[in-house]
């Protein structure tokens, strides 16, 4: 069914795939980002986040499948000023102030936001008269964010926007992003940091080996990874049979201790008791980190068994 432009989602990837040589960097990904959502692409190094973002921005063409932004091609959406993004290697013009940089850039857009509004949204009002080439890393990042939103885009796509920033600079950066999102806009960002995704996104899309392995808010991800962790000391008995216990979704062994993510903690504990394996028993809700490890190791195990079967 064709969607009218006004109903089209902010981002739509339909079976999008991109390989580099024989490596599928993005492997038949279906993803819809609704207007007004803030979505984190979360994954380890090399999981395909930047390639997915490159597809969304039209920097890379998919080998197969489709990519659209507001129902248009990425190139059309960018040309219409509907999409903002931060340039990686954008150096400020020397000896100009923050305000001058923003005012200069605003002339290149058909209907830019007013300069004071951009300064406010990016948290740069106090720094407006500072030299742009002398800003700290965090401040310079907010200036690049200001330049991304000056054309008043409805969608901003950010690839690891806070990488390398300290905690204070991150907080200031996210405050600026929330200000922009609070106007009803859509944000897609990539990150390695679970906490950053949980704290700043309505929805977390977990990528691994170019695929989406989970999609939901932090609570939903915790639940899909089992909901509860049962941990016991192995006391030298080995981990044999633990994955087959009732409710168990994944097993992680750290030194001589097993951590079992489970959907049915009672049944798992009873089964462990029958095996006389409840030394150092601990039962706790799954943390987001446990969930992430369980979700990504699940795909790892499937890929490993598929390659062993070949």
Ligand X SMILES: Nc1ncnc2c1ncn2[C@@H]1O[C@H](COP(=O)(O)OP(=O)(O)OP(=O)(O)O)[C@@H](O)[C@H]1O
> Residue numbers of the site for ligand X (CB under 6 A)?
20, 23, 25, 43, 45-51, 192
Cα 255 to Cα 165: distance, rounded to the nearest angstrom:
33
Cα 77 to Cα 91: distance, rounded to the nearest angstrom:
25
Are 24 and 63 a contacting pair, CB within 8 Å?
no
Residue 301 DSSP code: H
Q: Which tokens in the block code for residue 58?
A: 């039209």
Shortest distance (Å) from residue 51 CB to ligand X: 3
- The sign one gets for the Cα dihedral 53, 58, 62, 68 is positive
Q: Which residue has the tokens 């808010």?
A: 217
Shortest distance (Å) from residue 209 CB to ligand X: 9
Shortest distance (Å) from residue 20 CB to ligand X: 3
Cα 246 to Cα 275: distance, rounded to the nearest angstrom:
13
Let me know if 147 is exposed, middle or buried by CB neighbors in 10 A (0-12, 13-18, 19+): buried
Q: What is the 3-state secondary structure (H, E, C) of 259-275?
A: EEEECCHHHHHHHHHHC
Shortest distance (Å) from residue 159 CB to ligand X: 7
Shortest distance (Å) from residue 18 CB to ligand X: 8
Cα 9 to Cα 186: distance, rounded to the nearest angstrom:
10
Pairing of strands 155-159, 248-254: unpaired
Are 260 and 245 a contacting pair, CB within 8 Å?
yes
Classify residue 180 as left (phi > 0), alpha (psi -120 to 50) or beta: alpha
Shortest distance (Å) from residue 199 CB to ligand X: 19
CB nearer to ligand X: pick between 25 and 147: 25
CB nearer to ligand X: pick between 180 and 189: 189
Shortest distance (Å) from residue 50 CB to ligand X: 3
């Amino acid at each position: 069914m064709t969607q009218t432009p006004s109903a089209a989602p902010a981002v739509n990837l339909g079976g999008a795939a991109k390989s580099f040589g024989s490596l599928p960097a993005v492997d038949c990904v279906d993803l819809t980002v609704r207007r007004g959502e803030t979505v984190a692409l979360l994954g380890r190094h090399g999981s395909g986040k930047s390639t997915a973002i490159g597809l969304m921005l039209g920097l890379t063409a998919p080998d197969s499948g489709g990519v659209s932004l507001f129902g248009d091609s990425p190139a059309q959406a960018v040309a219409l000023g509907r999409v903002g993004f931060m340039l990686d290697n954008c150096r400020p013009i020397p000896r100009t102030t923050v305000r001058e940089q923003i005012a200069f850039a605003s002339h290149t857009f058909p209907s830019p936001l007013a300069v004071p509004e951009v300064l406010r949204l990016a948290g740069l009002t106090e720094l407006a008269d500072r030299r742009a080439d002398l800003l700290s890393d965090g401040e310079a990042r907010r200036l690049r964010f200001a330049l991304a939103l000056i054309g008043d885009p409805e969608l901003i796509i950010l690839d690891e926007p806070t990488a390398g920033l300290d905690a204070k600079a991150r907080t200031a950066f996210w405050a600026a992003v929330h200000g922009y999102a609070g106007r009803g806009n859509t944000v897609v960002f990539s990150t390695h940091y679970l906490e950053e995704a949980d704290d700043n996104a309505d929805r977390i899309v977990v990528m691994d080996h170019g695929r989406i392995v989970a999609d939901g808010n932090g609570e939903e991800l915790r639940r899909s990874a089992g909901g509860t962790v049962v941990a016991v000391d192995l006391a030298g008995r080995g981990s044999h049979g633990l994955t087959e216990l009732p409710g168990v979704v994944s097993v992680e062994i750290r030194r001589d201790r097993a951590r079992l993510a489970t959907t049915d903690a009672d049944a798992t504990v009873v089964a462990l008791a029958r095996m006389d394996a409840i030394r150092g028993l601990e039962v706790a809700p799954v943390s987001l980190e446990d969930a992430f490890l369980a979700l990504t190791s699940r795909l790892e195990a499937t890929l490993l068994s598929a390659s062993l079967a070949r």
